[in-house]
Amino acid sequence: MSFRFELLKTAPNGARRGRLHTPHGTIETPAFMPVGTAGTVKALTQEALEELGAEIILGNTYHLFLRPGHDRIRELGGLHKFMSWPRAILTDSGGFQVYSLAELRKITDEGVRFRSHLDGTEYFLSPEKVLEIQMALGSDIMMVLDECIEAPAEYSATEKAAARTFDWARRSRKHLDEAKMRGEGLAQAMFAIVQGGTYADLRKQSARDMMSLGFDGYAIGGLAVGEEHAVTCAMTEEVTSLLPADQPRYLMGVGKPEHIPDYLARGIDMMDCVLPTRNARNGCLFTSQGRLVIRNARYASDQNPLDPECSCSVCLRYSRAYIRHLFMANEVLGAILATHHNVHFYLDLMRRIRQAIEFGDIRDFSSEWQSRLAAGPC
């Protein structure tokens, strides 16, 4: 199946309902992508992800390049076969991971030279190399290399980074076109990444620049990195107001569940975030009554499920008291059960949102759920 996006409905508040067709299945949008950085969503088996209804997961070019290496994954049949995952995969370019290395990397117009956080070995990644790695991985959606910068940042530095990101996108577009003429990467789509920090004019210019090159979809990067939520929403809206309506829109690295309806109201179709898995491993659970910190002593004798309104297999079988015991005893099963519940919570939230868009009550749904989800300390 070739890559294709269907826009089925747009709600009065701007939220979109669609379907994204890929060679490894159809993704109902808006969609949340669990993060499987190194070829695994931490603490979950692929069987569990299938049970939870995940239609697409995210892998990371930087981490898979370092370990086990893209050439080895290609020799083993590509990332889908290597990790035994039959559904869609999006691979992030690794730009954010390289940015986070700080003292270990140097960025130039040619690309990024960095030292591995694993053993200090020096590597160089160009926009072309990043695509070659992703083509070897065989992901359904590849992301172009972009330059991430800190927030807040000076206008001049942000402008320079956005211009460099555009140049890298131009080189990526050329490289993939040439590869497809040779018969390579024919089943893979490529998304551009709009940058521009918190400056509306730079965001708009970056969006126009990327659209001039023609991509299969457009991502918005460099947000939710410390700025106020209202700023994230404002910058997102500046970009989505310009993007083509018939192509998917991906807001990277978000978000808190109470913020998700706000992003969708700005026309976002896809998102990813480590919160459900990272918070789970730290004992923070998302529920319909707000956040729950399972280590709290108040749950030591609590025989209720994590969330009385949840239908996941964890809530149907285990008590808060038992899961708290697992965390206090440092048993790995605690992280497994908590992660299963949190990923279910996010995927179920997206299912409810899609249904609300279809039946025309997304505004009432968003208002009610945002007030409930914001509660809690973690």
272 belongs to the catalytic site: yes
Find out whether 216 and 191 touch, Cβ atoms under 8 Å: yes
Whose CA is closest to 178, among 111, 128, 214?
128
3-state secondary structure 45-63: CHHHHHHHCCCEEEEEHHH
Q: What amino acid is encoded at 12 in this protein?
A: P
CA distance 137 to 113: 21
CA distance 278 to 343: 11
302 belongs to the catalytic site: no
- Kindly give the pairing relationship between strand 189-194 and strand 141-143: parallel
Per-residue exposure over 136-165, b if at least 16 CB sit within 10 Å of its own CB, e if not: bbbbbbbbbbbbbbebebeeeebbebbbbb
CA angle 173, 217, 226 (to 5 degrees): 100
Find out whether 284 and 264 touch, Cβ atoms under 8 Å: no
CA distance 53 to 186: 27
CA distance 258 to 248: 22
Choose, from 92, 146, 262, 307, the residue flagged as catalytic.
Answer: 92
Choose, from 146, 269, 272, 348, the residue flagged as catalytic.
Answer: 272
Secondary structure element (H or E) that encloses residue 301, with its range: none
Residue with tokens 């089925």: 8
Whose CA is closest to 262, among 365, 142, 185?
365
Q: 186 by DSSP, 3-state: which? A: coil
CA angle 360, 366, 368 (to 5 degrees): 115
Whose CA is closest to 58, among 29, 82, 87?
87
Find out whether 333 and 324 touch, Cβ atoms under 8 Å: no
- Kindly give the pairing relationship between strand 189-194 and strand 217-220: parallel
Residues marked as catalytic: 92, 272
